[in-house]
Structure 1
Amino acid sequence: MNKPVLTIVVPCFNEEEVLPDTSIQLSNLLNNLIDDALVSKGSTILFVDDGSKDLTWEIIEIECEKRPFVKGLKLAKNVGHQNALIAGLETASKQSDCVISIDADLQDDINAIPSFIEKYWEGFEIVYGVRGSRETDTYFKRTTALGFYRFMNRIGIKLVPNHADFRLMSNRALMELFKYQETNLFLRGLVPLVGFKSTKIYYDRKERTAGESKYPLKKMLAFAFDGITSFSVAPIRLVTLIGFLALVISLIAGGYALIQELLGHTVSGWTSLIVSIWFVGGLQLMGIGIIGEYIGKIYQEVKRRPRYAIEKDLYSSHVKEQHQKEAVLN
């Protein structure tokens, strides 16, 4: 088996504080992998700038000049983490035997990457990086994350627990992943659907050394809700169930009111009437909102707009130069 060409894809959004150190660490790692004959000398690191507003792209250009392994891809505007990641994967797949995705803050332990490559040599086409524990998280984040994975499993969405977007995928697995053309991307749910031989590598997640997290609570909740609505109609069925229960309760209450009327025990008042109106009105608004969320996703999907636009591509130009050099030597 020939040594595989590896590309490490790193989505970046306003990461100027961590990028220089990230570039050094990943370059040293890639150099060690080449020295150990685990990957080809043609392997690279691809930083994807997701429309950053700081000096992220300028730093990527500087790192491209300083370090031979580093290449860059600049998107025309901010399209979100998942779209930036798929942009990097699609670009890297054209010239790579396998691709590893990792976030720019390197909270995911890069020391697990050699084990990823070893598993690839053993014939695994997807290798998931899975957190061994969540001790560094707050109690709230740890509890909600556990509840999220349990809920997703309960409604039939098979995720890899405690896995984010730190994974290795072979070129063949990537080609299958790209057949899923939905606009509303939730890669953590899509990758397990691809199939192929897969395994897990456990690691301990580190603290962020600089910069700010790009996933505060609000974004995390929105991301989780997108994942649920992209893969399951369970929320709509839940609204249907709540509506049915409300109907049953109203019938019971109506029967009770009728009996009281017949017995002459009715008491005039508006509190119960107002509460019931608010209750039913709230259920209706919630149901309309959830159904509207699904209709909105359908609206986005049927337009088939591109998920990203590339402004500058320093990766493909590098590959083209390599091919020209090889042609001259041959």
Structure 2
Amino acid sequence: MPDPELSVVVPMYDEEEVLPIFFERMRPLLDGLGISYEVLVVDDGSRDATASMLLEAAVDWHQLRVVRLLRNSGHQAAQSAGFRRARGKYLVTIDADLQDPPEVIAELLATARDKDVDVVYGVRSDRSSDSWPKRTTARMYYRLMCRLVGKDIPFDAADFRLVSRRVIDAVNSLPEDGRVFRLVIPWLGFPSAEVPYVRAERAAGVTKYNWSKMFRLAFDSVTAFSAAPLRLATWFGLLGGVLSGMFAVGALVIKLSGNSVPGWTSTVLAVSVIGAIQLLCLGLLGEYVARLFQSSQRRPQFLVGYDSLEDPGHETIDKPLDEVSAR
């Protein structure tokens, strides 16, 4: 079977409610492009009927390819699985909730060809539908990433993008685990362009990306791309030393002036400040040590249990484990 022109990678986790709408919009759109394609859906260990609905749809939609992970590994890991297994000359990543309109895929592809670039970012032109806290935190995130990564990170560009085969191969060759794609791809430095679009409301179901996961993504982005937190710990240590010196000088002056009064306020204050700084520094160091420990274990970022391209006749995961790492 020849490789398709386009691979559309769609990570999914418990998306049974949105799947009928997804099929209804995605298939006629891709059929109308007039090119060969595959829709590579990575089922990230769904607990509902997502997997069975996908396999049922793949019977009639031959371009639909289902890759099932044995357990829930996270959105970025599911994207890694898609990058590893995609066969297309171009690859588009899009979420199943249809907030990023599939109709923009044609424009992403046309822009890549017309401008001869390797990356085309889908950039949100309007965030008025988001709450004020989400808009504010998103803006802070992108500004922070620009300063830490040292590259021009497209503002309001998440995981809706098109990349060429050169970018796919470069990403797959990276040795790191836990990659954050919205930072890794700009960091590679391939020629890029942007396509603005308006994000819609979720077509059905509820979001699986809560505030805790967004905070985790932000923290992983910082620790994976910069040693700044370690330097921050160093500066906090210096600040703690300065404060300790000031307390010592103050105590000596009070003692020499004969105005010293026994009390616990200054002692508690000094211990609290120094203790808080030390704990914060230890916590930051611990995050990096944990990353080194996880890297030394060499465990795969995800485990693929089934790929409909390799075993189209089976609808259950009954084959030996296929261990695929993101390295």
* Secondary structure of residue in 1 paired with 2:173: coil
Is the contact between residue 177 and residue 191 of structure 1 (CA under 8 Å) also seen in structure 2? yes
Structure 2 unaligned regions, length at least 5: 313-327
Q: Does 1:171 align with 2:165?
A: yes
Change (3 A) 1:294 1:51: same
Partner of 2:132: 139
Alpha-carbon shift at residue 193 of structure 1 (Å): 2.2
In structure 2, distance between residues paired with 1:152 and 1:97: 29
- CA distance in 2 between counterparts of 1:4 and 1:130 reads 26
Q: Which has the higher helix share?
A: 1
- AA aligned to 2:130 is D
Partner of 1:197: 191
Picking from 106, 109, 120, the partner of 1:117 is: 109
CA distance in 1, matches of 2:138, 2:43: 28
- For 1:21 and 1:256, the matched residues in 2 are separated by 70
Any conservation in 2 of the 1:184–1:297 contact (CA below 8 Å)?
no
For 2:60 and 2:171, how far apart are their aligned partners in 1? 33
Matched-pair contact (CA < 8 Å) for 1:128–1:198: yes
Report the alpha carbon displacement of residue 316 of structure 1 after superposing the two structures with TM.
4.1
1:61 aligned counterpart, secondary structure: helix
Q: Distance in 2 between matches of 1:4 and 1:194?
A: 24
Which moved further from structure 2: 260-269 or 154-163?
A: 154-163
- Residue 297 of structure 1 is matched in structure 2 by 291
Tell me, in whole angstroms, the C-alpha distance in 1 between the residues paired with 2:83 and 2:26.
Answer: 17
Deviation, structure 1 residue 26: 1.0
Tell me how far apart the structure 2 counterparts of residues 252 and 278 of structure 1 sit (CA, whole Å): 15
Displacement of 1:156 in angstroms is 3.5
Secondary structure of the structure 1 residue equivalent to 2:46 = coil
Q: CA deviation at 1:208?
A: 0.8
Cα shift at 1:212? 1.4
Q: Where does residue 32 of structure 1 map in the other structure?
A: 32
Report the Cα offset of residue 155 of structure 1: 2.5
- The whole-number CA distance in structure 1 between the counterparts of 2:106 and 2:58 is 23
Question: After superposition, where does 1:178-327 map in structure 2 within 5 Å?
Answer: 178-317=172-311
Deviations along 1:273-311, whole A, 9 cap, x unmatched?
112212211111111111000010111112222122211
1:85 aligned partner, one-letter code? Q
Map 1:80-95 → 2, pairs under 5 A: 80-92=74-86, 95=87
Pairwise CA distance, 1:125? 1.2
Give the distance between the partners of 1:29 and 1:4, measured in 2 at CA. Answer: 16
How far does residue 9 in structure 1 lie from its aligned partner after superposition?
0.7
Q: For 1:4 and 1:46, how far apart are their aligned partners in 2?
A: 11
Q: Which amino acid aligns with 1:91?
A: R
Extract unaligned runs of 5+ from structure 1.
35-39, 319-330
Aligned mates of 1:290, 1:264 — CA distance in 2: 42
Which residue identity does 2:97 align to in structure 1?
D
1:105 aligns with 2:97: yes
**Residue of structure 1 equivalent to 2:88:** 96
The whole-number CA distance in structure 2 between the counterparts of 1:4 and 1:12 is: 22
1:16/1:54 contact within 8 Å kept: yes
- Structure 2 residue aligned with 1:8: 8
Deviation at 1:76, TM superposition (A): 1.3
Please state whether the residue corresponding to 1:239 is helix, strand or coil: helix
- CA positional deviation for 1:224: 0.3
Shift of 1:4: 6.5
User: Contact (CA 8 Å) 2:14, 2:47: kept in 1 or not?
Assistant: yes
The answer to whether the Cα contact below 8 Å between 1:27 and 1:69 also exists between their aligned partners in 2 is no
Contact 2:119 2:162 survives alignment (8 Å):
yes
Contact 2:21 2:203 in 1 (8 A): no
Secondary structure at 1:182 match in 2: coil
Q: Distance in 2 between matches of 1:69 and 1:48?
A: 14
TM-score with structure 1 length normalisation?
0.90
Whole-angstrom distance in 2 between the partners of 1:225 and 1:256: 38
Secondary structure of the structure 1 residue equivalent to 2:79:
helix
Residue 83 to residue 169, structure 1, CA distance change in 2 (3 Å): same
Counterpart position of 2:17:
17
Alignment root-mean-square deviation, CA = 1.5
The question of whether the paired residues in 2 share the 8 Å contact of 1:6 and 1:44 is answered with yes
Find the aligned partners of 2:79 and 2:20 in 1 and give their Cα distance.
20
Give the CA deviation at 1:215.
1.2
Tell me which moved more, 199-208 or 66-75.
Answer: 66-75
Q: Distance in 2 between matches of 1:219 and 1:76?
A: 20
Are 2:58 and 1:68 equivalent residues in the alignment? no
